[in-house]
Amino acid sequence: MDNTITRRRRHELLIGAVLLAALAVLPLPIHDVYTRNLIIITLLFAGLSQAWNILGGYCGQISLGHSLYFGVGAYVSTLLFVGGHIPPPLGMIAGGLVAASMALLVGWPCFRLSGHYYAIATVVVQEIGYLLFLNWDWVGGASGVYVPFRGESWMNLQFRTAKLPYHYVVLGFAALTWLVAWWIEGSRWGFSWRAVKDDVVAARSLGVRIFQSKMIAAAISGFFTGIGGAIFAQYVGYIDPDSILSGQLAILIALPAVLGGVGTLWGPFIGAAVLIPLRELSSSYLGSSGSGLDLMLYGALIMGVALLRPQGLGSLFKRGDSHARTA
Amino acid sequence: MPALLEVRCVSKSFGGVAANVDISFDVAEGEILGLLGPNGAGKTSLFNSISGEVSPDQGDILLGGKQVSGKGPFACAAAGIARTFQVVRSFESMSVLENVMVGAFSRHASSKAAMQAAYATIEFCGLSARADSPAHLLSPAEKRRLEVARALATEPRVLLLDEMLTGLTPTEAQGGVQLVRDVQARGVTIIMVEHVMEVVLPLVSRAVVLNLGRVLTIGSPAEIVKHPDVIRAYLGDRYAAH
C-alpha cells in the first residue's frame, strides 16, 4: 500500500543511505588529527543521543542519568578486556546487556512515577552510580582503569595512531542506532510508545501496556548507550568515573536530541552536529574545565531553541505541518 | 436478548465521596443504553470502572459472563471494551491515521494490517479527508470523531461514549447522532453518557438515570421523561407534582 507513512519512511531510508555513504568518505581527504577526532566524537554522541531518544524522545521518559548506562557499558567491556582477555567487540555486547539490565532495574521502581519524577529519579540513580564507582577499588576507584595496548587489530578494537578505523566503528554505531529508531517508528512498539508519551490514559484505554512499553524502551536505550560507552573506552584508552559517569555527561547525551528535536529520527544527529563541534570550539577558545563558559553557551543555545523552535532544529528542514505545532 | 454487559452492585468511593453506590443494570447485545444524570451523578466514574481505569470498591462487572472489573484497562480493552473521553485525549503529536493505528495495533501485530484496519475505520467515521492531518489541527467535532475512530479500531463489543455530542453545533451533533447509529448497525453495543436529554432520548432504547451516585430509575425514554424522581432531580421539587 502506498501512502504518506510508507512513502515518508522509504524516503528517510534513502536519505539515511546517502548520508551514510557521504560520512564514509568524509574523513578520507582530512588528515588533520584534531578534525578527525572531532568528527568521531560527534558521531559517537549522535549515536548516544539517538539511543537516549529511543526512551526520552519516542516514549517520553526523560532520563537525565544516561551516563550511568554509558559508564557501566564502558566498565564491563574494559574489565572483561583487561582481566579476562575478552575481545571488546564481544565485551561491548556484554556491556550493553549489563547496561540494559541496569536500565530495567532503574525502571522497575521509577516507571511507576510519572512525568518529572522519573527524570529526578534518574539524576539520583546516576549520582549513586558515580559515587559507587568512585569508591569501588576493585574497578580502579577514583584513579580509573587504563586499557592496555595489546596490538593493533579489529578484534582488540585498538589502533595505534590511525583514527580512520575508529571513524568507521562510531559511524557503524550511529547508523545502527538510527536504523533501530527508524524501525521502531514504523512498528507497533513505536506507536505504543508515542501514545504513552502523548497521553497515558488514552493509550491505556486502547490496550497499550504502559509499564511494559517503558521497560522495553529503557532496555533498548540502555543497551545502545552501554555499547557507546564501550566504544568510547577503547577509543580513549582510559576510563574513570569523572569522564564516563558524570552528571554533565548525562546532560551531554540528552542535549543533542533536545536541541535537534525530541522524538524525531534526525533530531539527535542534527543536534550532535551543531552541539559537539560548538562544545569543542568553545572549550579550546574559552578554556574548558573550571571556567564554565562552555556550559553557559549550551544554556544559551537551549534557551534559544526553546523560545524560537520548541520542536528542535530538525523542524527547520520540514515542510508543512510542523510549523503549527506551537498552537 | 441476552445481557452482554452486566453491572452488579458496583460501588466506588474517592476519599469520603461516594461516586457510585450499589449500581446494577444490564446492557443487552446491540442496544444503545443512555446513562443520564445531572453533573456529579457519577456517570464518568462508572465509565472508569467499566473500562478498567479504576477498580470498583465493591461489586462486579461482567462482559459476556466473564468478570472484567478490577483487571485493569489492558484486560478490558482486550475483552472488547472501548471508550471515548469527555475531554478529548487525542495523541497530539500524531496524525489522524497514526492515532487510529494505536487502537488498531491492539488487534493487529503487523503495521501493514494495522494501517489497513485504521484506514477502514477512518473512512467509516467520515475522516478520510483528514487521515494525514496532525491531530492537533482538527476541529472539536473532528476530534470527537477521532476519539470514536480510535476506540472502534480496537474492535470493541461495547463502546462507551462519554459526552460525545456535548459542545457541538446542532449540525455537528446531528452528524454525531448518525455516527452513533452507524456504529450500532455494525453490531457494537453502546453506552452513552449525555447531558442533553433531547439528543439522547430519541437514540437510546433504554436509559439509566443516576443521581448522587445512585440509580434513580431505569426505563424507556418515554418512562424516563415522566418519572417524578427524574423531574425532581433535574428541575427540582416544584415541577414533580404533576
Does B101 contact A325 at a Cβ distance shorter than 8 Å? no
CA distances from A284 to A239, A274, A294, B64, B132 (A): 22, 16, 10, 71, 47
Does A202 contact B73 at a Cβ distance shorter than 8 Å? no
**What mean pLDDT do residues A71-81 have?**
96
pLDDT value of residue A291:
61
The count of CB pairs under 8 A between chains A and B is 97
The closest alpha carbon to A119, from A184, A77, A35, A56, belongs to: A56
CA distances from A226 to A116, A177, A261, B107 (A): 24, 12, 23, 34
Q: Specify if B105 maps to a domain.
A: no
With CA atoms as reference, the chain A residue closest to B47 would be A205
Within chain B, which residues score under 50 in pLDDT? Answer: none
Does B90 contact A206 at a Cβ distance shorter than 8 Å? no
- Chain A environment of B112 (Cβ under 8 Å): 1
Q: Running DSSP on this structure, what letter comes out for residue A158?
A: B
Q: Is A133 helix (H, G, I), strand (E, B) or coil?
A: helix
The closest alpha carbon to A48, from A212, A193, A313, A231, belongs to: A231
Bridge partners of residue B211, in order along the sequence: B214
Q: Is B210 helix (H, G, I), strand (E, B) or coil?
A: strand
pLDDT value of residue A72:
96
Does B73 contact A192 at a Cβ distance shorter than 8 Å? no
Report yes or no: A90 and A156 within 8 Å, Cβ to Cβ: no
pLDDT value of residue B240:
64
Q: What residue ranges do the domains of chain A occupy?
A: 13-315
Domain hosting residue B242, numbered range:
1-73+159-164+200-242
Q: Running DSSP on this structure, what letter comes out for residue A108?
A: H
Does A208 contact B106 at a Cβ distance shorter than 8 Å? yes
Q: Specify if B146 maps to a domain.
A: no
**Of A8, A10, A191, which to mutate for an interface test with B (greatest number of B Cβ within 10 Å)?**
A191
Distance from CA of A7 to the nearest CA of B (A): 12
Q: Does A13-315 carry CATH code 1.10.8?
A: no
Pairing of strands B17-28, B32-36: unpaired
* Share of residues in chain B with pLDDT > 70 (%): 98
With CA atoms as reference, the chain B residue closest to A183 would be B111
Q: Specify if B89 maps to a domain.
A: no
Q: What is the mean pLDDT of chain A?
A: 89
Does A324 contact B101 at a Cβ distance shorter than 8 Å? no
**ipTM of the prediction:** 0.92
CA distance A191 to B100: 10
Distance from CA of A205 to the nearest CA of B (A): 6
Cβ of B150 under 8 Å from any chain A Cβ? yes
Cβ of B93 under 8 Å from any chain A Cβ? yes
**Chain A residues with CB within 8 Å of chain B CB:** 1, 3-5, 186-188, 191-192, 194-195, 197-199, 201-209, 263, 321, 324-325, 327
pLDDT grade, residue A326 (50/70/90)? Answer: very low
With CA atoms as reference, the chain B residue closest to A209 would be B74
Report yes or no: B13 and B55 within 8 Å, Cβ to Cβ: no
**What mean pLDDT do residues A234-251 have?**
92
CA distances from B92 to A152, A308, A324, B61 (A): 52, 20, 12, 32
Q: For cell 480496537, name the residue.
A: B154
Distance from CA of A196 to the nearest CA of B (A): 9
With CA atoms as reference, the chain B residue closest to A192 would be B102
- Chain A environment of B134 (Cβ under 8 Å): 321, 324-325
Q: Model's pTM, two decimal places?
A: 0.91
The closest alpha carbon to A67, from A242, A231, A244, belongs to: A244
pLDDT score of A327 more than 50: no
pLDDT value of residue B241:
57
Pairing of strands B158-162, B189-193: parallel
pLDDT value of residue A323:
41
The closest alpha carbon to A178, from A7, A3, A5, A18, belongs to: A18
Q: Specify if B238 maps to a domain.
A: yes
Distance from CA of B89 to the nearest CA of A (A): 6
pLDDT tens string B25-52: 999 999 999 999 888 889 999 999 999 9
Q: Which three cell numbers stand for residue B140?
A: 472539536
**Between B213 and A301, whose confidence is greater?**
B213
Cβ of B49 under 8 Å from any chain A Cβ? no
pLDDT value of residue B149:
97
Pairing of strands B58-63, B66-67: antiparallel
Exposed/middle/buried for residue A109 (C-beta within 10 Å: 0-12, 13-18, 19+): exposed
Distance from CA of A263 to the nearest CA of B (A): 10
Question: Which CB contacts under 8 angstroms, 24+ apart, belong to B182-185?
Answer: B182/B124, B183/B148, B183/B152, B183/B159, B184/B30, B184/B32
Does B93 contact A197 at a Cβ distance shorter than 8 Å? yes
Does A202 contact B133 at a Cβ distance shorter than 8 Å? no
Does A5 contact B103 at a Cβ distance shorter than 8 Å? no
Q: Specify if B98 maps to a domain.
A: no
With CA atoms as reference, the chain B residue closest to A211 would be B74
Does B91 contact A194 at a Cβ distance shorter than 8 Å? yes
Does A202 contact B90 at a Cβ distance shorter than 8 Å? yes
CATH number at residue B36: 3.40.50.300
What phi and psi, each to the nearest 5 degrees, are found at residue B47? -60, -40
Beta strands, E only, A171-212: none
Q: Specify if B80 maps to a domain.
A: no
pLDDT value of residue A153:
84
Helix (H) or strand (E) holding B8: strand B3-14
pLDDT value of residue A60:
93
pLDDT tens string A85-124: 899 999 999 999 999 999 999 999 999 877 688 999 999 9
Instruction: Please give the radius of gyration of chain A, using alpha carbons only, rounded to the nearest integer.
Output: 19
Q: Closest partner residue to B89 among A187, A199, A209, by Cβ?
A: A199
pLDDT grade, residue A280 (50/70/90)? Answer: confident
- DSSP for A47-106, please give it: HHHHHHHIIIIIS----S-THHHHHHHHHHHHHHHHHH---HHHHHHHHHHHHHHHHHHH
Cβ of B109 under 8 Å from any chain A Cβ? yes
Distance from CA of A195 to the nearest CA of B (A): 6
Q: Specify if B24 maps to a domain.
A: yes
Q: What is the tally of structural domains in chain B?
A: 1
Q: Specify if B170 maps to a domain.
A: no
Q: How far is CA A206 from the centre of its chain?
A: 31
Q: Closest partner residue to B77 among A1, A206, A325, by Cβ?
A: A206
Q: Which three cell numbers stand for residue A147?
A: 586499557
Segment among A1-10, A145-154, A168-177 with least mean pLDDT: A1-10
- Chain A environment of B103 (Cβ under 8 Å): 206-207
